[in-house]
Amino acid sequence: MGRLTTHVLDTAHGKPGAGMRVRLYRKGGTGYALIAEVATNADGRCDAPLLEAGAFTAGQYRLVFSAGSYFAAQGVRTPQPAFVDDVTLDFGVADPGAHYHVPLLVSPYSYSTYRGS
């Protein structure tokens, strides 16, 4: 059964990115439509897959992580505007029967991602 999952690692503090707002969009026509909005749990993960089974289809997706708000809530002082604010990851799903895990490793000054398992 295919599914889409994510998690957040706060690399500045060496801990999970707990409480970060994550929005998922699906591309349709000329724009993106919001299909899910969650906050990460204490382990920096979502309590359930963002999409799975029949709701998870081939196509273009966008994850938006509210990193700037997360770091502000952590008491991290950054210049304004913040260097890293909303982190937007656009990616494609070719095989909706597979597990797509899209993690975010983030600090106030950098981020990276990869297709995990």
**φ, ψ for residue 53, nearest 5 deg:** 50, -130
The pLDDT value recorded for residue 52 is 96
Q: How far is it, in rounded angstroms, from Cα 108 to Cα 102? A: 19
Q: Report the predicted TM-score, pTM, of the whole model to 2 decimal places.
A: 0.96
In this structure, what are the phi and psi dihedrals at residue 72, rounded to the nearest 5 degrees? Answer: -60, -40
CATH number of 3-108: 2.60.40.180
Per domain, the residue ranges of the chain are 3-108
Average pLDDT by stretches of 10, the chain with 117 residues: 96 98 96 97 98 96 98 94 97 97 98 95
pLDDT of residue 92: 97
